[in-house]
């Protein structure tokens, strides 16, 4: 009987086994092949390139979050779990999610493990399902050389530390355990520590610590929530599979960071032109899913989308370039903006399985500019903005200079999908119907790409007289 085991637990197990054997002998069963059944889970390492038989793996679900690999092996006591054959699954944020993959030495033991479906660990019943060898390798397999060297030192106990100060040293960790009551000693000193770091060398606040004997585990865990400096430290019994999984996650999260392409170097309207004017011919959408794109907004607005001016949908981003959940939309008139705000306010936008109710407000360009700037001189960005090319050196003529002369203006490109009623020329901006020329002298003016008159969206600017 193991010295560290619960005597009453193992005593009951022995009595049950004797009763089973007596019944089998009474029924005439003969034991010709002697099979050894292990009492403890032995440590082992799984490689990413290792082939694991799918007929030997199960998935256990509903485990207490504090369960160790030894606790799970004890749940399957009487069945031979392969060396390092318990892999605790982690959530996307690196915490245990109550699942584990268990690898057995043969398919016969795996089949008997499936019969423990809905047996209990304490008050919790555990679900047991079939799993694949690929599932096990994805969780337990590793290719990190540092982890391989760390895990082959022959330690019987691995403790995971979480919440370490980012500048924590190996000496502080060793002293943390030696100051306990009773004290415990880290195996091989600083060589028995593995700090989890990002590929750029920055600390994640996690570390793994090796201890030589099983008797060191309760001593080390007694330091749970004790402090290093001003931070309390969380301690958990860990496994070789968890060490490799944490290191794999750290590398994968770094490698999978999206590469943001450089913005297209095309001329766009300056933001002060987009967000100016006192006419309430705009609407503001708030509460959009962060994944929402222009086409989702058009679908949400339904028939009102036909009243959006060409390329008039502008997504609002925060200072980090991430979607803010808001959008600013230019309509073809105040009536259209009022109607959209009244009929679509607090309506739901379906996005996959999500349903979000959206707030819709009527506003003017100046209102939106005030919202974006928060009263500051430099507002945050709408859709990514670049400046127009510098104006030509030749001075422009005033409205009264030439009777019917139309001044050219460079084409204006927009990077967003257009509403369904876009003009046939995809790269020309026509903001309003044609007007007579010249306009009244008291009306500020601008000239479109096609020579059409546009009511100004920016403060009044009059070109200077020719030299």
pLDDT in 10s for each residue of the chain, 467 residues: 555 556 676 788 788 889 988 998 899 888 888 888 888 888 888 888 899 999 999 999 999 988 888 899 999 998 999 999 999 998 877 788 899 999 999 999 999 999 999 999 989 999 999 999 999 998 888 877 788 889 888 888 999 999 999 999 999 999 999 998 889 999 999 999 999 998 888 899 999 999 999 899 999 999 999 999 989 999 999 988 889 888 888 876 555 555 444 444 434 444 545 556 788 889 999 999 888 888 889 889 989 999 998 878 888 877 777 888 888 898 998 999 999 999 999 898 887 667 888 999 999 878 777 766 654 434 444 444 434 444 444 333 333 333 333 333 333 333 344 444 333 333 333 333 344 444 444 444 433 333 333 343 434 444 444 44
**For residue 17, what are its two tokens?**
């086994």
The domain 145-255 belongs to what CATH superfamily? Answer: RRM (RNA recognition motif) domain (3.30.70.330)
Sole residue written with tokens 């500048």? 167
Q: What is the pLDDT of residue 99?
A: 94
**For residue 302, what are its two tokens?**
């339904």
Q: In whole angstroms, what is the distance from residue 337 CA to residue 168 CA?
A: 57
Q: What is the pLDDT of residue 374?
A: 54
Fold category of 35-140 in CATH: Alpha-Beta Plaits (3.30.70)
284's CB contacts (< 8 A; 6+ apart) are 326, 327, 328, 329, 360, 361, 363, 367, 368, 371
Q: What is the pLDDT of residue 450?
A: 35
* Nearest of 201, 210, 176, 240 to residue 43 by alpha carbon: 240
* Nearest of 188, 395, 427, 229 to residue 310 by alpha carbon: 427
Domain ranges within the chain, ordered by starting residue: 35-140, 145-255, 271-373
Fold equal for 145-255 and 271-373: yes
Fold category of 271-373 in CATH: Alpha-Beta Plaits (3.30.70)
**For residue 428, what are its two tokens?**
């020309």
> 419, 312 in Cβ contact below 8 A?
yes
Q: What is the pLDDT of residue 276?
A: 62
Sole residue written with tokens 């000239």? 447
For residue 407, the SS3 value is coil
Residue 350: C-alpha distances to residues 93, 318, 344 (Å): 27, 23, 13
> 76, 116 in Cβ contact below 8 A?
yes
Q: What is the pLDDT of residue 368?
A: 75
54's CB contacts (< 8 A; 6+ apart) are 131, 132, 133, 134
* Nearest of 15, 17, 67, 59 to residue 37 by alpha carbon: 17
Q: What is the pLDDT of residue 17?
A: 84
Pairing mode of beta strands 96-104, 81-90: antiparallel
Phi and psi at 207, nearest 5°, equal -155, 155
């Amino acid at each position: 009987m193991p010295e560290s085991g619960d005597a009453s637990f193992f005593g009951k197990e022995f009595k049950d086994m004797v009763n089973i054997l007596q019944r089998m002998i009474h029924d005439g069963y003969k034991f010709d092949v002697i099979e050894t059944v292990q009492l403890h889970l032995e440590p082992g390492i799984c490689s990413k390139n290792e082939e694991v038989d799918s007929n030997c793996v199960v998935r256990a679900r509903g485990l207490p979050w504090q369960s160790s690999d030894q606790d799970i092996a004890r749940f399957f006591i009487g069945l031979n779990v392969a060396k390092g054959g318990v892999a605790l699954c982690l959530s996307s944020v690196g915490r245990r999610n109550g699942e584990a993959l268990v690898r057995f030495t043969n398919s016969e033991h795996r089949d008997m493990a499936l019969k423990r479906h809905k047996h209990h660990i304490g008050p919790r019943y555990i679900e047991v399902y079939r799993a694949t060898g690929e599932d096990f390798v994805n969780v337990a397999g590793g290719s990190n050389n540092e982890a391989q060297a760390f895990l082959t030192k022959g330690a019987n106990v691995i403790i995971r530390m979480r919440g370490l100060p980012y500048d924590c040293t190996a000496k502080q960790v060793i002293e943390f355990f030696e100051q306990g009551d009773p004290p415990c000693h880290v195996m091989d000193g600083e060589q028995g520590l593995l700090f989890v770091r990002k590929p750029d060398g920055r600390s994640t606040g996690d570390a793994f610590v090796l201890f030589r004997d099983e008797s060191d585990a309760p001593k080390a865990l007694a330091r749970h929530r004790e402090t290093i400096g001003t931070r309390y430290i969380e301690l958990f019994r860990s496994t070789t599979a968890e060490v490799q999984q944490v290191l794999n996650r750290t590398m994968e999260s770094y490698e999978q960071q999206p590469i943001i392409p450089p913005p297209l170097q095309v001329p766009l309207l300056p933001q002060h032109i987009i967000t100016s004017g006192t006419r309430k011919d705009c609407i503001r959408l708030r509460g959009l899913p962060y994944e929402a794109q222009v086409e989702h907004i058009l679908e949400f607005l339904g028939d009102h989308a036909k009243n959006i001016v060409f390329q008039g949908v502008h997504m609002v981003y925060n200072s980090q370039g991430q979607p803010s959940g808001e959008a600013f939309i230019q309509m073809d008139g105040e009536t259209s903006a009022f109607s959209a705000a009244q009929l679509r306010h607090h309506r739901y936008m379906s996005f996959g399985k999500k349903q979000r109710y959206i707030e819709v407000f009527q506003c003017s360009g100046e209102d939106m500019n005030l919202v974006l700037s928060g009263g500051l001189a430099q507002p945050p960005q709408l859709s990514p903005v670049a400046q127009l090319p510098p104006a030509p050196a030749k001075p422009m003529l005033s409205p009264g200079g030439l009777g019917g002369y139309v001044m050219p203006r460079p084409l204006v490109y927009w990077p967003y999908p257009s509403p369904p009623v876009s003009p046939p020329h995809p790269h020309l901006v026509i903001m309003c119907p044609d007007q007579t020329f010249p306009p009244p002298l008291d009306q500020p003016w601008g000239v479109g790409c096609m020579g059409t008159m546009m009511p100004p969206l920016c403060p009044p600017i009059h070109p200077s007289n020719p030299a």
